[in-house]
Amino acid sequence: MLAGGHGPGVQLAMKLLTAVAESEDAPRLIEIEGAHIDGCLFHGQSGIDLAKALARGDSRVRVPTTLNVASIDMLHPELFRGDPELARKSRELTDTYVGLGCQPTWTCAPYQLAQRPSRGQQIAWGESNAIVFANSVLGARTNRYGDFIDICCALTGRAPLTGLHTDEGRFGSIEFVVEVDDHLLDLDVFYPILGYLLGHRAGMEIPVITGLDERATEDRLKALGAGAASSGAVAMFHVLGVTPEAPDRATAFGGANPVETITLGTPDFSRAKEDLSTGAGPLGAVSVGTPHMSLSELKTLASVAEGQVTQVPFFVNTARDVLSEAERAGIVGSLDEFGATVVTDTCTYITPIIGDVAGVVMTDSAKWAHYAPANLGVEVVFASLTECVLSAIEGRVVVTDEWR
């Protein structure tokens, strides 16, 4: 491949990949079994230029490869409120990646697809929340790949043997002891806040969390990981007794002692919940589902909103595959009756769908709350899903006493 025997596109991919491997002092490359590509989100002409350069010589990915969100909702193109030229270039970019043999999944939550990696599988995933979920919850192995290196891995079927691809690179290094009122562990909203705290305090370390239990479901761990990967650079965490590589303390830390132990109490979470909100005032819109909502989460939303009608624009982000499941389950009709706008293939914090908002935007996502103010220029109120729905029904910000 490096010598050009598989065409100029694959040769370029291998040149880039070996340069990265050398910069990381990788002893060798390893074979991977899957990839997830983040570079299909349009950020400028250079992304198109590189994708087309990699496509020269009829290049095709060598492993099953899914695609992350794009810049437009291709199922509902009428929702896009930006420059038509941006939409055109986004389609040019996405078409190029599909031409490379990638699956047009368009989701930031590929772990919700029917086929997902298993424990110990070597993969190369982009998209921060997907990376942390794959490593932590599934036990698959991927480094935190940035745009363009992920597709190079997919085209060559290789990745550098470094970091989280190795046994020793996956041990925890910093301990977080959760000591909170027990009822908080029953709340979905608790877990993105925990992730937000981890990211700020852990940086690039691998946290080991103690004090959680079986109430930390996949959807809640998804929210935790997304928060940690947004406020920090966390690519993997362990939950003692819950996640697959942390059956006990010795295994989680690899027999070593943590470099630091941090205790998080109820006041820490209360302050963090307040910090995730950036403004106050009239309610302009609501956006939920970042990362993309699972079928279970859509069912919960439909149940809470049943028989009601939103008074403000209400956006629900999910994957097109999950939307198809929801349609078969009869959920989408309830969301339509509520007045929700379902967004697929992209996310409302990275593309112009919400439009001008007269007031704050409520969200149940730490990731959305972290990125939206800078990306969209909006003020955010972070709350639980129930509070988001109740607020939409009332047309004003409603805060319940569930946290207390």
Q: What angle do CA 329, 351, 149 make, to 5 degrees?
A: 95
Question: Which DSSP helix (H) or strand (E) runs through 362?
Answer: strand 360-363
Q: Is 257 exposed, middle or buried (0-12, 13-18, 19+ CB in 10 A)?
A: exposed
The residue-averaged pLDDT of 116-130 equals 97
pLDDT for the residue numbered 404: 72
Q: How many CB atoms lie within 10 A of CB 379?
A: 17
Q: Which of these, 214, 145, 222, 207, lies nearest to 173 by C-alpha position?
A: 207
Q: Please give the pLDDT value at position 105.
A: 98
Measured between alpha carbons, how far is 27 from 186 in angstroms, rounded to an integer?
A: 45
How far is C-alpha 33 from the chain's CA centre?
Answer: 20
Q: How far apart are alpha carbons 142 and 122 in whole angstroms?
A: 6
Q: What does the pLDDT look like over 371-380, one tens digit per residue? A: 999 999 999 9
Confidence of residue 401 (pLDDT cuts 50, 70, 90): confident
* Phi, psi of 256, deg, nearest 5: -95, 175
Which whole number is the average pLDDT over 379-395? Answer: 97
Question: Which burial class, exposed, middle or buried, applies to 373 when counting CB atoms under 10 A from its CB (0-12, 13-18, 19+)?
Answer: middle
DSSP-derived 3-state class of residue 210 = strand
Can you tell me which residue has the tokens 């939550």?
109
pLDDT digits 0-9 by tens, 321-356: 999 999 999 999 999 999 999 999 999 999 999 999
What pLDDT, on a 0 to 100 scale, did the predictor assign at position 176?
98
Express each pLDDT in 296-316 by its tens digit.
999 999 999 999 999 999 999
120: tokens are 């110990």
The average pLDDT across 358-374 equals: 96
pLDDT-above-90 percentage for the chain: 96
- Structure-derived torsion over alpha carbons of residues 32, 34, 35, 36, reported in degrees to the nearest 10: -150
pLDDT at 211 over 80: yes
Domain covering 278-394 in this structure, CATH number? 3.30.499.10
Question: Could you tell me the residue ranges of all domains in the chain?
Answer: 8-165, 171-274, 278-394
- Rg, Å, the chain Cα set: 21
The answer for 119, left when phi > 0, alpha when psi is -120 to 50, beta otherwise, is: beta
Query: What are 261-292's pLDDT values in tens digits?
Result: 999 999 999 999 999 999 988 999 999 999 99
- pLDDT at residue number 121: 98
Is 57 buried (19+), middle (13-18) or exposed (0-12) by CB count in 10 A? middle
CA-to-CA distance for 392 and 370, rounded, in angstroms? 21
Name which of 53, 72, 63, 58 is nearest 12 in CA terms. 53
Same-fold call for 8-165 versus 278-394: yes
Share of the chain above pLDDT 70, in %: 100
Task: Check pLDDT > 80 for residue 358.
Answer: yes
Task: Identify the pLDDT of residue 281.
Answer: 86
pLDDT tens-digit map of 136-178: 999 999 999 989 999 999 999 999 999 999 999 999 999 999 9
Buried b (16+ CB within 10 A) or exposed e, 182-207: eebbeebbbbbbbbbbbbebbeebbb
CATH superfamily of 8-165: Aconitase, domain 3 (3.30.499.10)
Please choose, from the candidates 242, 245, 246, 221, the residue with its C-alpha nearest in 3D space to the C-alpha of residue 109.
221
CA distances from 173 to 168, 254, 259, 264 (A): 11, 9, 6, 17
